[in-house]
Structure 1
């Protein structure tokens, strides 16, 4: 096997980690917060199996991640005109809104949250996913180079 093929395989593995590790961190955060916060649930009132709750959390975290990846770059450009103080508060509101939309999009499970709880859950999920993604990127020279190229471009 040539070294170019090995490098390509290694890069694919590193890219895979950049997606899966933050998604897993978001899923775990969602599960923990569903158990800790009374206004946030991932199951119906009569209860559901642990597997169904875990699937609901994984799909919710995935939908939240996808919405964040698509919506945030557009919003950041639009918010360049918004004052900094308002922007700081608006970020929490928008993240909570994205979580509520993600929970509504899940085809299985019965995820629900009060709006103020959605803000807390979304902030915790974002922090956990960002920390997990950063830990993966720290070990990846390619991620550092891609970030520098994005900043330079």
Structure 2
């Protein structure tokens, strides 16, 4: 889903590109989007737990806003490590793209777990800090 979101945003936002300046095939652009989505997911999984621990003393509102900028920075790094340097975005656009990707991922996971009572219970247990009996 992240790859499709990146492809859609690359088509909608002129400051966000996933192909070489002289153009690429749709397949090559999709491969670049898949690389960027994978790198973004991997960076998020590795970096976010460390950042959350480091920023525990930061007020919640600031951390919430800072999260968008951190995700935008992670997306810029993910685009930088794509093969042949085909991915590029302005910093402001990277923040927007990362926010949309997070919203789509959240909506997708919520839609897939709508009728899953176990997922709901796990979430409640996690929020209360308790373990299952």
The two structures have a TM-score, normalised by structure 2, of 0.85
Paired position in structure 2 for 1:80: 56
Q: How many residues align?
A: 129
1:52 partnered with 2:28: yes
* Structure showing greater relative contact order (alpha-carbon pairs closer than 8 Å, 6 or more residues apart): 1
Counterparts of 1:93 and 1:47, CA distance in 2: 29
Q: 1:3-18 counterparts in 2 under 5 A?
A: none
Structure 1, unpaired ranges of 5+? 1-23
Q: Normalization by structure 1: what TM-score?
A: 0.75
Q: Which runs of 4+ in 1 moved over 3 A?
A: 139-151
- Cα distance in 1 for partners of 2:123, 2:84 equals 36
Structure 1 residues 125 and 142, CA, compared in 2 at 3 Å: closer, same or farther? same
Query: Superposition RMSD on alpha carbons, in Å?
Result: 1.9
Which structure is higher in helix share? 1
Q: Corresponding residue for 2:43?
A: 67
Kindly indicate whether the alpha-carbon contact (under 8 Å) linking 2:79 and 2:85 is maintained by their aligned counterparts in 1: no
- Change beyond 3 A, Cα 1:86–1:145: closer
